[in-house]
Amino acid sequence: MEKGYGTLKASVLVFLASACTMVLELIAGRILAPYIGVSLYTWTSIIGVVLTGIALGNYLGGRLGDRYGSPLMVTCIFLGGGLTSLAILPETLILNNSPLPYEFHLMTKTTLYTLMLFFLPTCILGMVTPVVIRLNLANIARTGRTVGTIYAISTFGAILGTFATGFVLIASFGTRSILWGVAVLLLLTGIFASASWHKIIKWGLSVFVIVAYLAAFTWRDNFAAPVLKESNYFSINIQDTTIQGKTVKYLSLDRLIHSYIDLNDPTFLGYDYEKVFAQLTAYKAGAKPNFRALFIGGGGYSFSRYLEVIYPSSEIDVVEIDPAVTEVVYDYLALSRDTRIKTINSDARIFFIENRPTAKYDLVMGDAFNDMSVPFHLTTYEFNELIKRSMRPDGIYMVNVIDDLTQGRFLASLMKTLRESFEYVYLFLPDGALDSRGAGTYVAAAAVQPIDMNRFASVVLANDLDLANGQMVRFEELPAAIPVSEAVFLSDNYVPVDNMVAPLFIH
């Protein structure tokens, strides 16, 4: 009969189990991103599934520990955790190549994917702590101290696993390599968790696991993420496509296409909203060709490089949160490192708070998106006030917005909130937009001084920029079909952007 564990060995075991559990939880978002995106729903599913797995594992571990508790059981638990963690990679390929047989709503689909991939390993690892505690309770008079100490060390392992994964591991190694490492660590821990196995057996099994790992690692490309690069923020990918009769590259972050790039023509604009940006920019450049522009969100730098070529005397700043995105654009999308475009890798809100630009920009362009929403802190009244302060008195703030024009609530809420900071707020209505249904892309514009509609129309015609067909409509003159009466004032205190936008993508 195997004896129990001393406090040191028990502490090491629960520390490793909890650390690996949190590593799995954090890399779940990156593994799922190319398939179902990263949204409020994704992280809700991940956290809910992992907590459910841990809870059930704790319960089962307690029951099994009382009945069959032994170091051999702990060995089996760690070996099971290692094998099920390793199985996540082929399971991911299966899910990718064999979609679910039925069409589910996004919330259901996200939860099912997370359950299939991450529930079993987190449930198994959840068994470790109660079994180890049972094996460490040699003195019933010290039960409270023993349980408290082991749970504290378990929690510390979870904390270290969280910080190490989020701040270091994903950016340094990528999710697939991390999974390989977690699986091998759990397998080796399981081998050495048994007290009765002879040292020769332990070392022999360890050598076998390592050799098998090295052999399997040579096949790692078969399990590689279907992306070009994984960063702390996105799964970044570049692929070829045909648009407007041209073969171009497109940049996708997680599941969302952010930019179309013609490597041979930096003036190519693949999105209609960019053509509206071009119209408003031409209007501003007519009075001030040496304008200064700020982009919130770099993406593939499609419109910023358009400005660099069309307006050689302009100054262009780009705030892009992810340095990896900027590097990919340099390396794969033909943006010269000698470009006039100045990049600031920062969250836009932090950029304005730290730099406090005042009356600096003639144009500010908002184009920051994640898979299914807009970063909510970039939509509020408080953020608009920062934008307003950064702009010159005759500056224009333009924002790319995705919404259902007549059924959604986000676009109207954004415009209502802009109206609290800017006296003049406009919406570019594409021809036929009021008859459309479902998600569409629109441009809202805000300014302290009015846009001269006659001069705007003349500039569009003179510069042959009528590719974006439609009209600019003032907020006060929006058609009745746009639900302004249901608009919400967006503030830092209340900003339900995810709940407004994500339903557009649920199908």
pLDDT at 52: 96
CATH 1.20.1250.20 residue ranges for the chain: 7-226
Q: What is the pLDDT of residue 507?
A: 52
Q: What is the reported pLDDT for 102?
A: 53
Q: Between 205 and 271, where is the model more confident?
A: 271
pLDDT reported for residue 217: 65
The runs of H, that is alpha helices, within 194-271 are 199-217
Q: Following DSSP, what letter does each residue of 362-427 receive, concatenated?
A: EEEEE----SSS--GGGSSHHHHHHHHHHEEEEEEEEEEEEE-TTT-SHHHHHHHHHHHH-SEEEE
Looking at 222-231, 362-371, 398-407, 486-495, which range is the least confident one?
222-231
Task: Give the CB-side neighbour count of residue 382, counting CA atoms within 13 A.
Answer: 11
Question: What is the rounded CA–CA span in Å between residue 461 and residue 469?
Answer: 11
Is the pTM value of this prediction over 0.85?
no
Span between the terminal Cα atoms of the chain, in Å: 56
- pLDDT at 140 exceeding the cut of 70: no
Closest CA to 480 of 375, 406, 392, 411: 406
Q: Measured between alpha carbons, how far is 272 from 287 in angstroms, rounded to an integer?
A: 24
Taking CA atoms, 361 is separated from 291, 293, 426, 453, in Å, by 8, 6, 19, 21
Residue 427's alpha-carbon distances to 414, 441, 474, in angstroms, are: 11, 11, 6
Residue 207 has pLDDT above 90, yes or no: no
pLDDT above 80: residue 27: yes
Distance of CA 443 to the CA centre of its chain: 23
Give me the residues paired with residue 318 across strands.
295, 343
Which residues make Cβ contacts (< 8 Å) with residue 408, sequence separation at least 6? 439, 483, 500, 501, 504
Domain 7-226 sits in CATH 1.10.580.10: no
Average pLDDT over residues 88-93: 85
Token pair in block for residue 275? 């053509």
Residue 336 tokens read as 């010269």
Count of C-beta atoms within a 10 Å radius of residue 300: 25
User: CATH for 272-505, among 3.40.50.150, 2.60.40.1180, 3.40.50.300, 3.30.70.1140?
Assistant: 3.40.50.150
CA quadruple 310, 315, 319, 324: dihedral positive or negative?
positive
Give the Cα separation of 324 and 491 in Å (integer). Answer: 30
Alpha helix segments (H runs only) across 38-142: 40-68, 71-86, 88-97, 106-114, 120-126, 128-136
- Residues 262-269 have a mean pLDDT of 94
pLDDT tens figures, 447-503: 999 999 999 988 888 877 766 778 899 999 999 999 998 899 999 999 888 888 877
C-beta atoms surrounding 105 within 10 Å: 12
pLDDT digits (tens, 9 = 90+) for 293-348: 999 999 999 999 999 999 999 999 999 999 999 999 999 999 999 999 999 999 99
Residue 284 exposed, middle or buried by CB count within 10 Å (0-12, 13-18, 19+): buried
Gap between the Cα atoms of 31 and 403, Å rounded = 27
- On the question of pLDDT at 208 being above 90, the answer is no
Most confident of 43-47, 94-98, 174-178: 43-47
> With 60 as the cut, is the pLDDT of residue 355 above it?
yes
DSSP reduced 3-state for 151: helix
For the purposes of burial, counting CB atoms within 10 Å of the CB of 66, is it exposed (0-12), middle (13-18) or buried (19 or more)?
exposed
61-83 pLDDT, tens per residue? 999 988 887 888 898 899 999 98
206-225: b (≥16 Cβ within 10 Å) or e:
eeebeeebeebeeeeeebeb
pLDDT above 70 (res 371): no
Token match 């479902």: residue? 438
Lowest mean pLDDT among 29-38, 180-189, 243-252, 338-347: 29-38
Interatomic CA distance for residues 208 and 310, integer angstroms? 63
Residues 4-21 have pLDDT tens digits of: 667 788 889 999 999 999
Strands 424-430 and 440-447: antiparallel
Backbone angles phi, psi at 197, to 5 degrees: -70, 140
- Give 416 or 369, the one with higher predicted confidence: 416
Identify the band that residue 1 occupies on the pLDDT scale cut at 50, 70 and 90: very low
Binned at pLDDT 50, 70 and 90, residue 202 comes out as low
pLDDT of residue 224 exceeding 70, the answer is no
What pLDDT is attached to residue 397? 98
